[in-house]
């Protein structure tokens, strides 16, 4: 049943300073509300547990994409549509743009934001595997200032995040490695468009003299959080023999902890993830 | 019973200035249909999956069931009623009728809003462009083929009109 609106409150602070004042005055009471593509669904279903929200969509400091020689810093409120329109991101971070293109419909891509996707902390989200592959860092900002943390350490458990109640995800930074990555992204869902993933795979590898010099593998929907598969990566850096794909598939299964749920089951998710790994490796 | 928090939101709908006092989390869909009596916009799923409630917000297609009215402050909203005033968009509507692209009609306003948004950006879409642009609009009657025919027909007519 729909939520009873009078139980909820929403304010629209003019800028970050005003948002931080509200958040500091009542610690833990106010949560940021971005494009609404997740929170409005919960509201409609009567499942939105939190009561007080700060609408942040119009806060200029959270928009924009800044490019420097070493990094690109993406304002947390960039929508999936804005990510796809940025030519530098398309050239250097194609997995992120592909994830943006395969998340929801165009109407949802026009509202859903990268920061919101991270803060929603779904293990089935489609952009986080790409962020893990690119060694993303998050800027968390509060009244006390800003700090950067590696995205790989941000999700500490199912829907758990290394973030204080008064902090906002303000920017997402990706290092420009300059490497000639071979990149692979594939999302497997019930249908091609708009489905939530059963398994989502992002991979990148640097090849030199026919050998893997560097390799990154990350998965969504196979563990309580999105997962960077570091043991599989380490194995692939070492192994060269004919059984390396099979060995890597076994290691991948050991790193995952998929569940049976209404979208899929653990056995299917394991097989699909292993097959996607093989498809990625065979394309190198 | 208390109505809870109220906010006054100013925005334009189909180029007409509007001012609405409502709970800030009230859905744009409900404001359009119940407060402004613009009932062309339909509610389908109410959770952003079906596209029946699609409108244009500052020129971009969005699902109005997922927009809290507070986020519409100072924005420009165009609904199916606004497109019906636009001669070119009406050509698209006529193509839907001519090609059998509308049956029960619940998805039709959203289909027209989403496909009009596509044609404005991409006047000669390929089949792939069409499928991508309408992937968020569900229709349970037509099987989509007639909808795609309607948009291609409109695209051709608009190109002809532009060449004249």
| The pLDDT of residue A154 | 96
Q: What is the pLDDT of residue B54?
A: 98
pLDDT computed for residue A149 by the predictor: 97
- Angstrom CA distances, A275 to A186, A197, A270, B104, B121, stand at 11, 15, 9, 42, 38
Question: DSSP labels for A66-131?
Answer: EE-SSEEEEETT-BHHHHHH-HHHHHH-HHHHHHHHTSS-HHHHTT-BHHHHHHHT-TT-SHHHHH
Chain B positions touching A32 (Cβ under 8 A) are none
Report residue B164's pLDDT band, with 50, 70 and 90 as the boundaries.
confident
List residues bridging with A219 in a β-sheet: A201, A227
What residues in A contact B73, CB-CB < 8 Å?
A: 12, 58
Whether B158 has a pLDDT exceeding 90, the answer reads: yes
Is B42 in the A-facing interface, judged by CB distances under 8 Å? no
Nearest to A16 by CA among A8, A28, A24: A24
Q: B34: which residues sit within 8 A by CB, 6+ positions away?
A: none
pLDDT band at residue B154, thresholds of 50, 70 and 90?
very high
The reported pLDDT for the residue numbered B49 is: 94
CA dist A199 and A197 (Å) reads: 5
User: If you measure CA to CA, which chain B residue comes closest to A45?
Assistant: B47
Interface test with B, best of A63, A85, A105, A192 (most B CBs within 10 A): A105
Q: List the single residue in B26, B63, B73 with the smallest CB-CB distance to A12.
A: B73
Q: Does B68 touch chain A (CB under 8 A)?
A: yes
Regions of chain A short of the pLDDT cut 70? none
Strand order, beta sheet including A211-220:
A181-188, A199-208, A211-220, A227-228
Long-range contacts of A15-19 (CB under 8 A, 24+ apart): A15/A59, A15/A60, A15/A61, A16/A59, A16/A61, A16/A62, A16/A141, A16/A168, A16/A170, A19/A54, A19/A56, A19/A59, A19/A168
Given B26, B54, B66, which is nearest A37 (Cβ)? B66
Residue B63: its chain A contacts at CB < 8 A? 107-108, 111
Residue A60 contacts B where some CB pair is shorter than 8 Å: no
pLDDT of residue B100 exceeding 60, the answer is: yes
Query: In 3D, which of A62, A66, A131, A137 has the Cα closest to residue A97?
Result: A131
DSSP bridge pairs for A218: A202, A228
The reported pLDDT for the residue numbered A2 is: 86
Asked if B67's CB is within 8 angstroms of A10's CB, the reply is no
Cβ of residue A111 closer than 8 Å to a chain B Cβ? yes
Cβ–Cβ contact B12 with A under 8 A: no
d(CA A82, CA A97): 9
Reported as a single tens digit per residue, the pLDDT across B36-93 is 999 999 999 999 999 999 999 999 999 999 999 999 999 999 999 999 999 999 999 9
User: What is the model's pLDDT at position B2?
Assistant: 63
SS3 A60: helix
For the beta carbon of residue A152, count every other beta carbon within 10 angstroms.
Answer: 17
For residue A10, the chain B residues in CB contact (below 8 A) are: 5, 7, 24-25, 68, 70
* Residues B27, A40: C-beta atoms closer than 8 Å: yes
Q: Where are the alpha helices (DSSP H) in A102-205?
A: 106-109, 114-120, 127-133
Q: What is the pLDDT of residue A194?
A: 76
Residue of A nearest to B133 (CA): A106
Residues of B in contact with A106 (CB under 8 A): 61, 114, 132-133, 135-136
> In the predicted model, what is the mean pLDDT of residues B109-128?
97
**pLDDT value of position B36:** 98
Residue B23 CB neighbours (<10 A): 20
The C-alpha R_g of chain A, in whole angstroms, comes to 19
A5–B contact, CB cutoff 8 A: yes
Identify the CA nearest to A184 among candidates A125, A133, A243, A254.
A133
B4, A9: Cβ pair inside 8 Å?
Answer: yes
Contacts of A41 in chain B (CB under 8 A): 47-48, 66
Q: Chains A, B: CB contacts under 8 A, how many?
A: 102
Mean pLDDT of chain B: 96
> Do residue A6 and residue B23 have CB atoms under 8 angstroms apart?
yes
> A107 and chain B: CB distance < 8 Å anywhere?
yes
Instruction: Tell me: pLDDT of B1 over 60.
Output: no
State residue A36 phi and psi, 5-degree precision. Answer: 80, 5
The 10s digit of each residue's pLDDT in A29-61 is: 999 999 999 999 999 999 999 999 999 999 999
Q: Which residues, other chains included, contact A62 with Cβ-Cβ below 8 Å and sequence gap of 6+?
A: A16, A56, A75, A76, A77, A115, A168, A170, A171
Q: Is B100 on the interface with A (CB under 8 A)?
A: no
Q: Quick one: pLDDT band at residue B148, thresholds 50, 70, 90? A: very high
Contacts of B41 in chain A (CB under 8 A): none
Mutation for testing the B interface, residue in A22, A107, A108, A109 having most B CBs under 10 Å? A107
Q: Do A106 and B68 touch (CB under 8 A)?
A: no
CB contact under 8 A, A105 and B51: yes
Q: What pTM value is reported for the model?
A: 0.95
Tell me if B32 sits within 8 A of B55, measured CB to CB: yes
């Amino acid at each position: 049943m729909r939520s009873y609106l009078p139980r909820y409150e929403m304010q629209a602070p003019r800028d970050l300073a005003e948002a931080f004042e509200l958040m500091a005055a009542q610690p833990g009471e106010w949560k940021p509300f971005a494009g609404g593509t997740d929170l409005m669904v919960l509201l409609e279903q009567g499942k939105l547990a939190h009561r007080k929200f700060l609408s942040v969509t119009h806060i200029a400091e959270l928009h924009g994409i800044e490019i420097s020689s070493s990094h690109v810093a993406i304002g947390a409120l960039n929508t999936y549509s804005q990510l796809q329109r940025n030519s530098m991101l398309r050239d250097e971070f194609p997995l992120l743009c592909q994830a943006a293109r395969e998340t929801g419909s165009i109407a949802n891509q026009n509202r859903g934001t990268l920061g919101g996707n991270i803060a929603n902390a779904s293990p089935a989200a489609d952009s986080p595997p790409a962020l893990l592959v690119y060694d993303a860092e998050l800027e968390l900002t509060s009244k006390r200032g800003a700090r950067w943390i590696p995205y790989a350490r941000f999700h500490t458990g199912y829907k758990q995040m290394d973030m204080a109640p008064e902090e906002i995800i303000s920017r997402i930074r990706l290092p420009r490695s300059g490497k000639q990555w071979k990149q692979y992204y594939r999302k497997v869902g019930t249908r091609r468009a708009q489905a939530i993933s059963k398994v989502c795979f992002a991979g990148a590898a640097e090849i030199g003299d026919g050998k893997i010099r560097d390799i990154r593998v990350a998965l969504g929907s196979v563990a309580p959080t999105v997962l960077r598969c570091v043991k599989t990566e380490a194995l692939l850096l070492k192994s060269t023999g004919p059984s390396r794909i099979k060995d890597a598939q076994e290691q991948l299964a050991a790193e995952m902890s998929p569940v049976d749920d209404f979208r899929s089951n653990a056995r299917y998710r394991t097989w699909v993830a292993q097959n996607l790994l093989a498809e990625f490796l065979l394309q190198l | 019973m208390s109505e809870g928090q109220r906010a006054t939101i100013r925005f334009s709908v189909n180029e007409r200035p509007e001012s609405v006092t409502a709970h800030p989390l009230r859905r744009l869909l409900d404001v359009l249909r119940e407060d402004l009596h613009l009932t062309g916009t339909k509610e389908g799923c109410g959770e952003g999956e079906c596209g029946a409630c699609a409108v244009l917000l500052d020129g971009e297609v969005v699902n109005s069931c997922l927009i809290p009215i507070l986020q519409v402050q100072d924005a420009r909203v165009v609904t199916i009623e606004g497109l019906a005033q636009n001669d070119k968009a009406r050509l698209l509507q006529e193509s839907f009728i001519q090609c059998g692209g509308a049956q029960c009609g619940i998805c039709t306003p959203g289909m027209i809003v989403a496909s009009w948004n596509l044609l404005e950006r991409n006047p000669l879409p390929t089949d792939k462009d069409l499928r991508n642009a309408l992937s968020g609009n569900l229709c349970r009657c037509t099987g989509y083929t007639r909808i795609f025919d309607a948009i291609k027909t409109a695209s051709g007519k608009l190109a002809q009109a532009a060449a004249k």
